[in-house]
Amino acid sequence: MDKKTYQAYIEEKKELVFEVSDKIWEYAELSLKEHKSCQLYCKVLKEEGFTVENPVAGIETAFAASFGSGSPVIGILGEYDALSGLSQKAGAAERCEILEGGNGHGCGHNMLGAGSLAAAIGIKKYLSEKPAGSGTVIFFGCPGEEGGAAKAFMARDGVWKKLDCALTWHPGDCNQVTSGTCNSCIQTEYAFQGIASHAAGNPELGRSALDAVEVMNMGVQFLREHMPQEARIHYAITDAGGVSPNVVQPHAQVLYMVRSVLAKDALALQKRVDDIAEGAALITGTRLKKKFIDGCSNTVPNKVLEELLYQNFQETGVPEYTEEELAYAKALTNSYEFHDDRLPGDAWEESPEIKAFVEKASENATKPMNDFLIPYLYSEKKTPGSTDVGDVSWLTPAAQFNTACFAAGSPGHSWQNVSCGCTSIGHKGLLCAGKVLCGTAIDLFEDPKLIEAAKEEFAEKTKIGYYCPVPEDAKPVLSGEKIEF
C-alpha cells in the first residue's frame, strides 16, 4: 500500500474538484440555503460511486455520502455556506463587487467542501482496492456553519456517534495542524409583545415591548459581575419596535449569544439569561417568547489524530507558488486596511523554538504567502471563537488543520479571501488539504492501533459526557426572523 498512489489519483481528479470549488464559489449561498451547492455535491458524489443520503438530521442541505463497508468508519467533514455583503471579483486585488450587496465565500467554504471531496475520492479509490469489509468512508456535507450550526443538530440526532473518528480542515493563511480548544456558544432570540398606544395621550393603556428589551439588557449587565470569569454574553437588538417615539412599541426582539468553554456551563448561564427575560416581561407587563437559534460545543483536541495529520502534512508537502501568484498575493496584502506584523499560526505563542522557526520562515511576517508548514504543538489553550466542529469532537475523536488558501495575514471574512478563493492559490490549498486528509485516513484504515489510541485519549477527555446545546425539539433556523405570537 502506497499512500502516494491515492494522492496521485486525487491529482488526476483535480479538474473535477476545482470545478466544484469554483461553482460553489459562484453560487455563494447563505447558511441553510445552500440548495444548489448541496445538489451539486450529491450529483458529483453519486457519479463518483458514493451512496448519498440527503437530507440528514432533517436538514435539507445536509448530506452524507458513503463508500465501503465494515469498520473503521471514518468521517470527512465539508462545509459550503457563504457570507452576505462579500460579493467580489475573483483574482482582483482591489474591491470589486460582482453583484451589489451580493454574497461571497469570505471564509473559503467553497474550498473547504471541495478539499474534503478530493479526500473522499482518494479514500474511495483506496477502499475499492481492499477486500469488502475493510472500512467505510463517509463524506458529510455540513451546511450552516456561519449560522445554524448544523453539525450540532446532527450531533443531537446521533449522526457522529457511529464514527470511529472524524477529520476536517479549514482554509487559512498558513499551513498548520490546529490544536487547543475554543468556546461553546448558544444563541437565543427573545421576543416581547406589548400593547400599542398613544405614548402621550394614553400611556397607561400601553405596554412597551421595547422597555422589556431594555430591562432585560440591564438585567444581563448586572449578571456579568456574577458569572464565571471566562464566560461571555453578547447581544443585538434585532427589532426595536417602530420608529415613532409617540407610539408605545408593541413588539421588540433581542438576540443573545452566551459563551463559555464547556457547553454545560453555557447552558447553565443561558438558563439565568432566560430567567432575566421572564423577569423583564413581568416588570413591563409584556408577553415573552423565546426561540433557540443555534448552539455549539467547544472542541476537544485529539493529540493522536493531530500528530498523524502533521506526519501526513510533512509527507505531502506544502503548495509552491509561481511569480505571478506571489505578485497577486503581494498586491492583496497591500490592500489591507490594517496591517499587523503578527506571525502566522498560533503554535509560536507557546513555544520559543516554533516562534524562531516561524519568524525565519515567514521572514518576520513579510512573505505574501506562507509557503511552509508550521511545526505541530499540542495545546489545550482556548481561543475565544466557536465552531460546530466542537460537537463532532465530543462524540468521536476528531482533528483539523489549515492549509494556506489566502494571502498572508488576510483578515477573516474579507473580500480578499473571496478574491483568492477562486484562483490557482485556492486550488493548490484545497488539493493539498485533500491529500493530507486522504493520507491520514489511509493510515487509520491500515493501523487499527491508531484509532484505538485516539479513542482512548477521547474517552479520557470526554468523561464528563456530552451536553448537547441543541434542545430536543429545536429545528435549524436563522436569527433575525420575526417570532410570531
Q: Which residues bind Zn ion (CB under 5 A)?
A: 107
Q: How far is the CB of 387 from Zn ion (least distance, A)?
A: 8
Distance in angstroms (rounded) separating the CA atoms of residues 361 and 371? 8
Q: How far is the CB of 107 from Zn ion (least distance, A)?
A: 3
Q: How far is the CB of 170 from Zn ion (least distance, A)?
A: 6
Name which of 62, 60, 92 is nearest 75 in CA terms.
62
| Residue nearest to Zn ion as judged by C-beta position | 107
Q: What is the sign of the dihedral through the CA atoms of 140, 141, 145 and 151?
A: negative
Nearer to Zn ion, 75 or 135 (CB): 75
Q: How far is the CB of 190 from Zn ion (least distance, A)?
A: 27
Q: How far is the CB of 168 from Zn ion (least distance, A)?
A: 11
Do residues 437 and 119 make contact, with C-beta atoms less than 8 angstroms apart?
A: yes
Q: How far is the CB of 226 from Zn ion (least distance, A)?
A: 33
Nearer to Zn ion, 285 or 385 (CB): 385
The three-state secondary structure class of 388 is coil
Nearer to Zn ion, 31 or 370 (CB): 31
258 to each of 112, 270, 325, 385, 393, how far by Cα in Å? 27, 6, 41, 12, 20
Nearer to Zn ion, 58 or 412 (CB): 412
Nearer to Zn ion, 107 or 420 (CB): 107
Nearer to Zn ion, 73 or 392 (CB): 392
The residues, any chain, with a CB within 8 Å of residue 206's CB and separated by 6 or more, are 194, 195, 196, 197, 198, 199, 248, 250
In DSSP terms, which residues pair with 78 in a beta bridge?
Answer: 141
- Please report the DSSP string for 391-429 in residue order: HHHTTS-EEEEEEE-S-TTPPTT-HHHHHHTTSHHHHHH
319: which 3 cell numbers?
503548495
Do residues 38 and 54 make contact, with C-beta atoms less than 8 angstroms apart?
A: yes
Distance in angstroms (rounded) separating the CA atoms of residues 190 and 205? 23
Nearer to Zn ion, 166 or 233 (CB): 166
Q: What DSSP state is assigned to residue 95?
A: -
List the beta strands (DSSP E) in 83-146: 135-141
Distance in angstroms (rounded) separating the CA atoms of residues 402 and 268? 33
Nearer to Zn ion, 133 or 412 (CB): 412
The three-state secondary structure class of 150 is helix
Q: How far is the CB of 357 from Zn ion (least distance, A)?
A: 26
Q: How far is the CB of 263 from Zn ion (least distance, A)?
A: 20
Distance in angstroms (rounded) separating the CA atoms of residues 189 and 254? 6
Nearer to Zn ion, 107 or 436 (CB): 107
The radius of gyration of the chain's CA atoms, rounded to the nearest angstrom, is: 24
Amino acid at 299: T
Q: How far is the CB of 200 from Zn ion (least distance, A)?
A: 50
Q: What DSSP state is assigned to residue 465?
A: -
Number of neighbours of residue 55 by Cβ within 10 angstroms: 14
Nearer to Zn ion, 122 or 171 (CB): 171
Q: How far is the CB of 274 from Zn ion (least distance, A)?
A: 29
Name which of 344, 371, 369, 340 is nearest 359 in CA terms.
344
φ and ψ at residue 312, rounded to 5 degrees: -70, -30
Nearer to Zn ion, 107 or 438 (CB): 107
In DSSP terms, which residues pair with 416 in a beta bridge?
Answer: none
Nearer to Zn ion, 107 or 185 (CB): 107
Q: How far is the CB of 145 from Zn ion (least distance, A)?
A: 6
Q: How far is the CB of 144 from Zn ion (least distance, A)?
A: 11
Distance in angstroms (rounded) separating the CA atoms of residues 34 and 395? 26
Do residues 382 and 261 make contact, with C-beta atoms less than 8 angstroms apart?
A: yes
Query: Strands 251-260 and 232-239: what pairing?
Result: antiparallel
